[in-house]
Amino acid sequence: MKVLVIGSGGREHALVWKLSQSSKVSRLYCSPGNPGIAELAECLPMKATAIDGLLAFAKSEQIDLTVVGPEQPLADGIVDAFESNGLTIFGPTRRAAELEWSKAFAKEFMQRHNIPTASYKIFSQEEIQAAREYLATSRLPVVVKADGLAAGKGVIVCTTLDQALSALNDIKKQFGFAGNRIIVEEFLEGEEASMFAICDGANFVTLATAQDHKRVFDGDRGKNTGGMGAYAPAAIVTQDILHDVEERIIRPTLRGMALEGRPYKGCLFVGLMITAAGPNVVEYNCRFGDPETQVVLPLYPGDILELFEAACENALGALREPSFNHSTRNAAVCVVLASQGYPDEYPTGIEIQGLDELSGLNNVMAFHAGTKLFNGALVTAGGRVLGITAVKNNLLDAIHDAYQAVNHVSFAGMQYRRDIGRKALLH
């Protein structure tokens, strides 16, 4: 089979890495890819949002399956374009992906279908004064969100009224069109976790749970980022909680989307808050998470291509799942190496040293997120540069091996968290 992966980050590197292990793959392409991906696949010079060009390539090369990594092409309707041309593509249609590209739609959808989530109120930019008055009577902390896509940074947790009012004023300036509507949401007390379900519109298969580390500094301090690391499986998600999420969240979501004429196919990423009253949905994402993909896929024991194919063919109900126990002792840890200054402004073009030293380490992968080749040297090209992932029989050993591998890699200004996965050891 010829397979095309769309995207250029650590998530896409992990997808290409996992797909390259399938015996069914004859040719593997990625657009635009990155230097790490180029070691496994042929990279194309088209952006992930260049739908017309990607479609023309897939038709001319007779691509058997396309896998979409990032959210923007899904919001732009890439699945609709490919399917209308008779091409098989893994991901939700634009209408189904509204679960991610509009937080307001997602909140109202959950309310319609009795899916547990935080209480909320939606305001347009014309209703800013009403939003201010609402905030003045809201219990603190409170969460202020941009409605649209904001690269994972459109959520602001506010501990004071001044912070909340400032967030209200800044969202439009910071996120543009994505901030046309604003959601003010109850702050849920609990612990976050990520759940991934591969869906075919009616049936689903869950992968390992994970925990992302959003804040830039140790101890969950500092600004929110796209993710500074992750581990899997999430210790907080017990078998009982897993069953609860499947029955009270994932099944009603698929049933509700089908009832509303938006059948959901692809990867459904449910961001959860595990509260004393049970799991609640913080947000939906309509694709794999980053960096969670870098720990979830290494723990999947089967052929991921077969899973994607079955989802596209409405055949997950007939698929015999590989032996995968969500309480398995196997564990994976990913430590993100980021540029100095991230998540704010940061330099690029800084040479990266030591990656070749990781090739001899067992069960360690370096997933490229923001790298490029310049005059033959590998240099930084983004805020999150690399994701160093280690897989071991238990979490403590995975943490140890990941950080041992991190010690081999360096670039000027490199920053990373030193506590990835540590909170799980407290459970």
End-to-end CA distance of the chain: 43
Q: For the chain, give every residue range classified as CATH 3.90.600.10.
A: 331-426
Class of domain 120-186: alpha beta
Q: What is the pLDDT of residues 76-91, one digit of tens each?
A: 999 999 999 999 999 9
Class of domain 331-426: alpha beta
Class of domain 191-318: alpha beta
What's the whole-model pTM score?
Answer: 0.94
Q: What is the pLDDT of residue 423?
A: 86
Domain 2-76 carries which CATH code? 3.40.50.20
CA-only gyration radius of the chain, Å = 21
Q: What is the pLDDT of residues 271-304, one digit of tens each?
A: 999 999 999 999 999 999 999 999 999 999 999 9
Question: Which whole-number Å values give the CA distances from 409 to 142, 367, 415, in the listed order?
Answer: 39, 13, 11
| 3 state DSSP class of 382 | coil
Report whether the peptide linkage leading into residue 45 is cis, meaning its omega lies within 30 degrees of zero.
no
Contact in structure between 120 and 184 (CB atoms under 8 Å): yes
Q: For the chain, give every residue range classified as CATH 3.40.50.20.
A: 2-76
Mean pLDDT on 220-239: 93
Distance CA 4, CA 65 (A): 6
Q: What is the pLDDT of residues 348-407, one digit of tens each?
A: 999 999 999 998 888 999 999 999 999 999 999 999 999 999 999 999 999 999 999 999
Q: For the chain, give every residue range classified as CATH 3.30.470.20.
A: 191-318
Q: What is the pLDDT of residue 175?
A: 79
